[in-house]
Chain A
Amino acid sequence: MLDGEPLVRWRWLGDHLGYLADLTADHAVIALVPVLLGLLLAVPLGLACARFPRLYQPLAAVFNVVYALPSLAVFVVLIPYTGLATRETVMVPLTCYALAVLLPTAVDGLRAVPEPVRQAAAAMGYGPWRRLAAVELPASVPYLIGGLRVAAVSSISLAAVGALVGRGGLGYLFVDGFQRTFPTPILAGIALVALLALATDLLLVAARRVLAPWARGVAR
């Protein structure tokens, strides 16, 4: 389809640096705020599931299905509720995906505390709440961060599809480049999405090193 055109027009990139930065920032908000919301929902829900195992089976089944739902279809189905071309159209489904990934990791993490550790904490006079805050939650940090890495990277990549229903941050570059038969923005979009994902992932790995220095190699 391209007749002798250069694959990348570097001048276009140079002229649009500010524009690309804006789109990247927009993309980061659209993709990562849902992951934070998912985390805020997943921890209390995970606590409830760890305490009441009967709750977990049905919830896990539901979120297993949620995770399998095609993003574009969910964006579309939610349009009547969230409106076309708004951020919510994209962010509400992404929150659900993040929750679907994070809930099992939260439950795994809370369950991973060995019974002797729990007993030792109790023997030291820790009540259930203090044990939760001082022992169980810190112990589940490596698991949560493992889940956050998966959730964040897939959220960043899924958010690009949001461009088809309106707001997609960097995804707009794909739509734009395709409509104009102009590969430069598409390539820039792919590179920026991958870089954003990589940067987020590295940041989370660094966070794990700081927050859970004992957990090297656990719950990758």
Chain B
Amino acid sequence: MNWLGWLHDFFADPAHHSGPDSIAHRVLEHLAFSAEALGLAALVALPLGLLIGYSGRGLFVVTALAGVARALPTLGLVTLAVLLVGVGDAAVLLPLTALAAPPMLVAAAEGVRGTVPDVRDAARGIGLTHPQTLLRVCVPAAAPTLLAGVRTAAVQVIATATVAAYVGLGGLGRYVIDGLATRNFPTTVGGALLVVLLAVAVQLLFALLIRLASPPGSRTGTGAGTGRRRNRDATPEPPAAPEPTAEPAVLDDPAGSPALAKEST
């Protein structure tokens, strides 16, 4: 029942300082694996998401698909994949990629769709082609949303890579799973703490990236919420804009209109 004692035991253990079971090695394994899955997912999901968001076609399908994907239990997918393909990197990489792709796909699609139509029209008007509009206007404008989707995917993959140790993958999950199997709580708790730290570090890194990528003058706080809220933030309500201009036109005394007064301040 002694938490700090367990942590001390874990970090003081010489086996965790060098060799294949060392903390540094496990962290690198964990990161390498997560990065592979993320890269693979990004390769598929990001271009597809950009196209879907830009064309506005298939958005419904993508959102529905992402909802279904969230309901799939990764532990089940991982165990099934190992039984079907055999123990190996591919067996675990596939479910992890499948886990990472939907949030990226949705973020890319929603982010690009959320760019103001007027801006897109303007870009087309000054003679940019469709691909140029997408890459030079929509993608930078959608960058915070896009990165937020990648962050969600990254955190999920890092968390789930822990579970994947159950079927024989390396990484930090080894400490957790092996510790559980042998009732060695120092190892389990130490490993769990390292995963938590890694997830939080990645979260902070992305918070920084999102801040850097936010175009100046854009709405603040885009990166502050959870993945689900951001999607709503990113879709401004276009019909709301014409209302204030339409309303004072019919008023006898526009200066007295509270809507106008609020706008001038």
Measured CB to CB, the residues of A under 8 A from B are: 1-2, 60, 64-65, 67-74, 76-77, 79-80, 100-101, 104-105, 108, 146-147, 150, 153-154, 156-157, 160-161, 163-165, 170-171, 173-175, 177-178, 181-183, 186-187, 189-190, 193-194, 197-198, 201, 219-220
Contacts and interface: CB of A to CB of B under 8 A. Distances in A.
Contacts of B12: none
B193 A77 contact: yes
A68 B228 contact: no
Contacts, number: 156
Q: Chain A interface mostly helix, strand, loop or mixed? A: helix
Interface string B177-206: 101100001001101110110011001000
Interface of B is mostly: helix
A171 B1 contact: no
A64 B76 contact: no
Interface stretch (B40-48, B112-120, B129-137, B154-162): B154-162
11 contacts: A70-B195, A70-B199, A73-B162, A76-B188, A76-B192, A80-B189, A156-B71, A157-B74, A190-B72, A193-B76, A201-B71
Interface stretch (B82-90, B139-147, B242-250): B82-90
B196 A186 contact: no
Nearest to B155: A68
Contacts of B179: 76
Contact of B167 (A76, A178, A198): A178
A82 B72 CA distance: 27
A171 B84 CA distance: 18
Given A60-B224, A77-B192, A177-B79, A70 B162 contact: yes
Given A1-B86, A2-B84, A70-B162, A171 B75 contact: yes
